[in-house]
Structure 1
Amino acid sequence: MKDYKIMGINLPIYFTLLVILLIAIIFDVLPGGMIGAFVFMMLIGSLLDVIGNNTPIVKTFFGGGPIVIIFGSAALVYFSILPESVTDTVTTFMKGGGFLDFYIAALITGSILGMSRKLLVKAAVRYFPTIIGGVAVSLVFVSLGGMLFGQSPAESMAYIGIPIMGGGMGAGAVPIAEVFSKGLGVPSETILSKLVPAVALGNAMAIVFGGLLDKLGKVRPELSGNGKLMEIGEDDLIEKVNNDEPLSIADYSIGIAIACTFFAFGNIVGYVLDTYAGLDIHPYAWMIISVGLAKAFNLLPSKFEKACANWYKFVATNWTSALLVGIGIAYTDLGQVIAAFSPTFLVLVFLVVLGAVVGTAVVGKMVGFYPIEAAITAGLCMANMGGTGDVAVLTAAHRMELMPFAQISSRLGGAFIILLATFLVPIIFG
């Protein structure tokens, strides 16, 4: 244990920092604003992450750390363990302080610009139709299932189907909740409390399905490529981008500036089209489109793309746990989460994951993919919780070599769902 570290900090020093934080909270002298919020979110988030990643069953089937961070933080508020002043500080930092938007801007910009352009452009020809097939069938399944249980198709798609297929929490459920909030005029925390249970349970079921598909491949070998997505040409598509080379402080500032500017550009486009064309679409959607076009047409120098990718890597590595604490405190009403669970809910989540598998397997076969590998990457890696879910699903399926394609599902597939949600909100709730 003497060599064990949390946040890269040796345990004696980490717990010293934690004790100082707790004393500040007890005496109600925790600084307000960014300082108090950051120190609380980072220290508590990292501790809950360690707990979740080392808890049996939770770490294997429910996503480990991220789930424990979100629900653990929400429980601190729900059971009135956390002083109201700390809750207010974190909530203000997440919402009024813009930390959530700052994180999402880094994530979207860095994840897209950090991909191989060859992989992005060429794989799209076959891979995106496969993803779309999975999304379409999953939404049809959950809509029909909802009708059988007396629930409207719109509600089933919006609160169960779309969030599960959205690529996780930070890049999926959270921006989707913001999109719904803008379109429906409902507080985003109210919506997110409905989305979080679906995402968590969908992740667990996706991992179980990964193991089942691996077993199916052994029984029906003609359906499986044993870790290979398609018969020919795959090696040409898997071209990794080196985002690990050291960057200077100036390079990190480039990543921050470009990510924030893309976010601002999305707001500009959204404002202009809303004001002059009556097209009310969330700025996240325009940001995603603009970053994707910049990558596809090589509009930015490679050095700047790598700067954005490494800035995203820094943010995701160091601040994801902190973000999830903020999501748990500011956006997750544990009372609503508990009320959401029911036998009907479990069946509908199952139908979403099943639809993702069936749709991607069928369309994948049509475009030249092995059905099982298509279902694992384009299906289950859309239905899980992003990066941690990808690792869990591919581990259960014994196909870690498919990670490049799993990342397309988590990154660009999730971005596609945000776009889809933006356009579907006026239709399904109109």
Structure 2
Amino acid sequence: MNALVSKLAPGRQVGGMPWIMFALMAACILFASIEGSLPAGMVGALALMFILGTALNTLGDRLPVVRTYLGGGAIVSIFGAAALFEYQLLPASSGKIISDFMQSGGFMGFYIASLVTGSVFGMSTDLLKKAALRYIPVIIASVAFALLFVGIAGMLMGYGFKAAVFLIGLPIMGGGMGAGAVPLVEIMSGPMHTSAADLMSKMVPALAMGNAIAIVTAGLLHRLGQRYPGLTGNGQLMRSATFAPADETESVKADPQFLGVGLFLSASMFVLGAVLSKFIPMHSYALMILCIALIKVLGLIPRRYELAAAHWFQFVVVNFTPALLVGIGVAYTNIDELISTFSLTYLVLVFVTVIGAVVGSALIGYLLGFHAIEASITAGLCMANMGGTGDVAVLATSRRMTLMPFAQISSRIGGAMMLVLATMLIQLFAGG
């Protein structure tokens, strides 16, 4: 069998294996999906997500324009997977297995916990201290520029300054659906004398379109950084500091038990955030980040175990990212919704909001010591996307997954700040 595989697939690999081996497994899984015998739960979902993610990611990385300007495999994985199920090229029953695994099976939380824990523990302590103090002002600048840009554009295009800010700018910058649009509707419906359903119908398309534009913009920013290296730190946020030193990370052997320690640490930090959220009125992800940062700054665990979490984070990124992007496409992306709300004015206003976030975070971020592109991706695009799923898509498209802790600060703490801002603005302008 080994000789047959070698003969049929000399030197060509897909997903870390000979292409013929991948093709045989993919055929089996796709047959089970089409025939209706794909196992429910984690095993069936991961199997289908893996083969779709690997195939779509490989395709996207080989399409010239998509690879160069639009983020390559990441964006093809998200929208390609969404199209496969939305247009019934694959059965809805298999799509439901994936959606259930993503939404109630905890896969997103598992992935984000691994990334946040590993990337924070993998940082230098000095970087964490310096970056945290300067990051919130960059988020504020991102929001200010986004709302100003969309308000002026709305006024010039006849949509109205206030309508553009409240119905497009705030939802896009508000931290996603559950932590953003839903509470925003509750805050705004009474003072605006509009039903919650009507407001939600106007906000959801802005969220979805803003998320899509943020993902595409992430790919363009990655390309911009390749063309103008002075604008980017290639995943390093601050111009004067670096992430974990490579020699220190490589000095520890990442055996199976070592990776298991990293998994256990990640899961423990996730649970700690969930427990604290019962007593502290903050999102569990935000509390998880704060706890990890505090443990890191105080040096409460030995460096060896911090590196275990960092190695586990690297394992998860390499092996689970394509599958997760498929899950985001299937469970959270509605192509018909994007198409149905399309109009030139609406598209321009959403685009202007995202660009305002990028410009504000890049300018102020650079002044405060950050690399412009990394600041615009984390404090800009990760404020303009749809929360956790958007963070993963944006960072994967821009090839900067190590920035996940800052992306999560934008989505969670920044999203909470947006609710406070919305309350203040609605009280100030509701009568206008």
TM-score by length of 2: 0.76
After alignment, is 257-266 or 331-340 more displaced?
A: 331-340
**Aligned: 1:64 with 2:68:** no
**Contact preservation (8 Å) 2:50, 2:322:** yes
CA distance in 1, matches of 2:64, 2:111: 30
Report the counterpart of residue 10 of structure 1 in structure 2.
18
**Contact preservation (8 Å) 2:276, 2:287:** yes
Q: Cα–Cα, structure 1 residues 308 and 196, in superposed 2: closer, same or farther, change >3 Å? A: farther
How far apart are 1:379 and its partner, in Å?
Answer: 2.2
Q: Secondary structure at the match of 2:277?
A: helix
Q: Which amino acid aligns with 2:89?
A: I
**Contact preservation (8 Å) 1:146, 1:152:** yes
Q: Cα–Cα, structure 1 residues 4 and 324, in superposed 2: closer, same or farther, change >3 Å? A: same
Q: Which amino acid aligns with 1:99?
A: F
CA distance in 2, matches of 1:133, 1:297: 30
Q: Percent identity?
A: 32
- 1:55-99, Cα deviation, whole Å (9 max, x unpaired): 122222221112111111111221122223212211221122211
Report the counterpart of residue 414 of structure 2 in structure 1.
420
Within-5 A mapping of 1:268-287: 268-273=275-280, 279=281, 281-287=282-288
- 1:248-285, Cα deviation, whole Å (9 max, x unpaired): 22222211221112111111111123xxxxx3x32112
**Contact preservation (8 Å) 1:358, 1:375:** no
How far apart are 1:14 and its partner, in Å?
Answer: 0.4
Report the counterpart of residue 373 of structure 2 in structure 1.
376
How far apart are 1:323 and its partner, in Å?
Answer: 1.1
CA distance in 1, matches of 2:74, 2:45: 18
Report the counterpart of residue 40 of structure 1 in structure 2.
48
**Contact preservation (8 Å) 2:273, 2:288:** yes
Q: Which amino acid aligns with 1:39?
A: A
Of 78, 84, 87, the residue aligned with 2:86 is 78
- Report how many residues are paired: 382
Task: Flag structure 2 segments of 5+ consecutive residues without an equivalent.
Answer: 1-8, 187-195, 382-392, 427-432
TM-score by length of 1: 0.76
After alignment, is 34-43 or 334-343 more displaced?
A: 334-343
How far apart are 1:23 and its partner, in Å?
Answer: 2.0
Q: Cα–Cα, structure 1 residues 9 and 182, in superposed 2: closer, same or farther, change >3 Å? A: farther
- 1:96-135, Cα deviation, whole Å (9 max, x unpaired): 2211211121122112121121222234455654454334
Within-5 A mapping of 1:144-159: 144-146=152-154, 149-150=159-160, 151-159=163-171
CA distance in 1, matches of 2:204, 2:321: 17
CA distance in 2, matches of 1:179, 1:226: 32
Report the counterpart of residue 141 of structure 2 in structure 1.
133
Q: Secondary structure at the match of 1:54?
A: coil
How far apart are 1:136 and its partner, in Å?
Answer: 3.1
Within-5 A mapping of 1:317-328: 317-328=318-329
CA distance in 1, matches of 2:120, 2:294: 10
- 1:37-68, Cα deviation, whole Å (9 max, x unpaired): 11101111110111111112222222111211
**Contact preservation (8 Å) 1:193, 1:333:** no
**Contact preservation (8 Å) 1:110, 1:308:** yes
- 1:130-167, Cα deviation, whole Å (9 max, x unpaired): 4543343234323443465243423323443456xxxx
CA distance in 2, matches of 1:78, 1:390: 26
Report the counterpart of residue 364 of structure 2 in structure 1.
363
**Contact preservation (8 Å) 1:142, 1:161:** no
- 1:301-355, Cα deviation, whole Å (9 max, x unpaired): 2111111111111111111111111121122222112224332343234423543
Q: Which amino acid aligns with 1:259?
A: S
Q: Which amino acid aligns with 1:248?
A: D
After alignment, is 381-390 or 42-51 more displaced?
A: 381-390
Report the counterpart of residue 242 of structure 2 in structure 1.
238
After alignment, is 178-187 or 115-124 more displaced?
A: 178-187
**Contact preservation (8 Å) 2:77, 2:326:** yes
**Contact preservation (8 Å) 2:115, 2:402:** no
**Contact preservation (8 Å) 1:192, 1:332:** no
Report the counterpart of residue 312 of structure 1 in structure 2.
313
Q: Cα–Cα, structure 1 residues 193 and 270, in superposed 2: closer, same or farther, change >3 Å? A: farther
CA distance in 2, matches of 1:346, 1:196: 11
